Structure 1
């Protein structure tokens, strides 16, 4: 291989220049042409060996095809062995063909829905597409966006890899990680086979190169510093010793991806992945060393308000009764905002009618404490609103968010516990299933359960809530949408023993104020319903939603 360095070219040019001072003009011309040829050769070599990086998503890579074929080969055979389907287990398997079905209506009795909740179904694809001027166009657009999204999120580490039984190759199947452009020793490599005249293994990668951190006599290494390396020896023990020093260096920068390595010997080929990516940076909060929880240092209360300053004042007064120094962040999109002042209060003015979720984003974005508590502006704290209990469960568990309970004037206490699941549905989209209930009770916290969606009174880890965010298109009516976006990102609980009171919603027609009428007009606006359908259908790629 031709190897030319810039230093070598400089030396060559200086020597040629010296020669031209001593020779004839004819020789000068020859040397000039020689220099030009050398420079042209160097440029050509540089272009041919350019280290260009293909940053396109590797969604349909050849490695994926190889792995899929390998799994198919492993799963094949044994056709002559009879089997019986175990229906109870088979029904739990994903079928990629979800359907939108509601429970059939059988009989109607007073309070029958409370005693025997009936599953309803909302065909999002039908409702949304029927009202859209170009249903086929929007379906194509959604399919294109989904394909791009899948390509961006694809990682070779997601592919299933099966190590064949009785393979002489020993290799790691999980847990190998390298930082971008850094080097590691590959753990666990080995070859376990009988006596042969020559023992040989090879390693092949796509996003990095191999080398050895030591040398062992009688072991030959070919391809050091390259993507394909071959190690061979007549002595199996010596080969296995050197395999303990094989290194992998990532050569293509990417903040989060994976390289699929082929590890092979004669008649056997296996694959394993090396995760490539930066480590997660911790998000630590200096909250002091007190033995008891300092709620003011740990928690900020966030709230969105809209013209209901009387309700907001009652909320603040109730908070101050129990937590006089806790910070309250208020986002306000009233048309004629009124001043909201006082110690430990931050009042942020937004454009008129910007909306509830936009206000949530603003309020939560200003929180600097470890936890954020979300409240509505018509809540009222009481002796049962013990934020310490919420902090305690977040401090002692892996949970990211914990909801409480809301007590109405009538005495009824609501927790709004729901489970969410998404069933794959093929090209037309997936199905969202919402069910009342929870997954299981949390040990050592008997009044708390694990769920996927909770009531609109919750405390969460600030940075985790910020990562999920709130869709600002949802201006007036939204709650479930946040938890759908959080599915798979937030570990959520609901505790029934942390209770906030709800201001009375009872309004007599002849006693309704202008402010209350204005609020009702903006709060309960049906014009937003199609936005919900569009977001579920397009953004979340649902074709159906069911619930009870």
Structure 2
């Protein structure tokens, strides 16, 4: 009997707990009582001013026609005033955070600046870096251009962008036609829906919140005023695409694109900003070594003569690696014979400074190897990379400048054309030109070089292949007055060491399989059917 009572009590207790949980779940999941956040502005005036400002920037005219804001739509428009708010806890139960995870918020600005010795200085430096980033990433195709009505539809021809699943006002919509009993336009989308941020008297709307919306009014001015408030909301997620909008009226049809995509997240580098460039904070020197430790030592010694604190990153694929030590040196060991481009990838991947300088392990720095000049041109232009010149022991100085172009070739593939030369001189830098490929001594923006990468299949030979991959990605220059010396390669056969003979065997033996690999890369990876070159 006691056991039955105990069992009954446990059952009742379990029932009560279950009931409480069910009530809690019902409370949370019920549409009318779901956790809510007040996304409306606390005052009408900021939203009203923001919306009015957007309309004024988009089109002029019809300002005397009143409108009523649709708060639920207008509040979704970007206001350039994002805030980080944590979700409020609405249910106080054990393990409620596991059942109903809440978003947390972290004030990055406060956390970083309050512990920084010079908060105002670092804010100004970040702003300067961001302006430089914007200048480099500027694309004239992003500028808003509106085709004024001649068809009689007026619409934007370029520059309309929306972030995935976000809402924008479509700028520049209008209708120019003679007075008639009723003026009608329609909008059709594939990846989103239409709405209005405000309503205008005597304008009828059909299909609000759908991908096909019709607007009509007996007053042309009222219809044009309403068109200034038309919004587009992306509903099909894709990180980089475009929605083709059909804008139509009786007897006329126009098409324009709304680009859908995330904004570019900038890559900025926090370094001590001074009047003169701090090369140690801005630049890392990267190199790859194989069977030439004597040459590598000479390179390091020459660098230290002029840049004693610059970090040097070394990728090493020797079979029997030797220690390479010293201040500001990072030595990374790779599998034996992994190769030239794989070593470049490894070395560049470890760079944390804004710029990386590539130098072969048999180069020698001199008084003319001015890294400050390379930094200066990269800081003051939109270039992503700048090459220098290499002086041989014979006194000849090479810049190895090439232009690269690709002609479309149909189903069989495209045609690659490589020519000696350059495109034009860089204004303000008379010894520098713009080219598509430069010599094997160059400084580049670290993030851009990492973006292109180096094909690790190219183990022994490869140079132009990187610049072919970089075509359309990197903006490249070349300066003839920034010079590095090349250690002598002239050796009598009977004076060569075993290491030198082994290096020559690896470096200069070009087998049929190597030739096949290069042809395969060009044919399949790059989809070329032919190549022409000087």
Task: Work out which of the residue numbers 352, 369, 386 in structure 1 matches 2:336.
Answer: 352
Question: Does 2:216 correspond to 1:232?
Answer: yes
CA deviation profile, 1:13-48 (whole Å, cap 9, x unmatched)? xxxxxxxxxxxxxxxxxxxxxxxxxxxxxxxxxxxx
**Partner residue in 2 for 1:329:** 313
**Partner residue in 2 for 1:545:** 531
Distance in 1 (alpha carbons) for counterparts of 2:434 and 2:474:
11
Give the number of aligned pairs. 390
Contact 1:287 1:297 in 2 (8 A): yes
Larger RCO (CA under 8 A, 6+ residues apart): 1
| 1:94-243 pair list within 5 angstroms | 166-243=150-227
CA deviation profile, 1:148-188 (whole Å, cap 9, x unmatched)? xxxxxxxxx99xx9979830111100000001000001111
Task: Work out which of the residue numbers 437, 455, 458 in structure 2 matches 1:453.
Answer: 437
CA deviation profile, 1:220-277 (whole Å, cap 9, x unmatched)? 0000000000000001111111111000000011111000000000000001000000
Distance in 1 (alpha carbons) for counterparts of 2:147 and 2:519:
45
CA deviation profile, 1:82-108 (whole Å, cap 9, x unmatched)? xxxxxxxxxxxxxxxxxxxxxxxxxxx
Distance in 1 (alpha carbons) for counterparts of 2:508 and 2:482:
28
**Partner residue in 2 for 1:417:** 401
**Alignment gaps of 5+ in structure 2:** 1-140
CA deviation profile, 1:484-541 (whole Å, cap 9, x unmatched)? 0000000000000000000001010110110000101111121212211110111111
**Alignment gaps of 5+ in structure 1:** 1-156
Distance in 2 (alpha carbons) for counterparts of 1:180 and 1:255:
7
Deviation at 1:215, TM superposition (A): 1.1
**Partner residue in 1 for 2:479:** 495
Question: Does 2:526 correspond to 1:536?
Answer: no
**Partner residue in 2 for 1:367:** 351
Contact 2:184 2:217 in 1 (8 A): yes
Distance in 2 (alpha carbons) for counterparts of 1:195 and 1:371:
62
Give the TM-score, by structure 2 length.
0.72
Question: Does 2:432 correspond to 1:436?
Answer: no
Distance in 1 (alpha carbons) for counterparts of 2:279 and 2:453:
24
Distance in 1 (alpha carbons) for counterparts of 2:213 and 2:487:
72
**Partner residue in 2 for 1:45:** none
Q: Per the alignment, in what secondary structure is the counterpart of residue 418 of structure 2? A: strand
CA deviation profile, 1:349-372 (whole Å, cap 9, x unmatched)? 000000000000000000000000
**Partner residue in 2 for 1:379:** 363
**Partner residue in 2 for 1:395:** 379
Contact 1:163 1:270 in 2 (8 A): no
Task: Work out which of the residue numbers 300, 303, 313 in structure 2 matches 1:319.
Answer: 303
Distance in 1 (alpha carbons) for counterparts of 2:149 and 2:208:
30
Distance in 1 (alpha carbons) for counterparts of 2:178 and 2:213:
23
Contact 1:401 1:491 in 2 (8 A): yes
Q: Per the alignment, in what secondary structure is the counterpart of residue 173 of structure 1? A: strand
Distance in 2 (alpha carbons) for counterparts of 1:540 and 1:268:
42
Deviation at 1:332, TM superposition (A): 0.2
Distance in 2 (alpha carbons) for counterparts of 1:460 and 1:226:
48
Q: Per the alignment, in what secondary structure is the counterpart of residue 497 of structure 1? A: strand
Contact 1:202 1:231 in 2 (8 A): yes
Contact 1:450 1:494 in 2 (8 A): yes
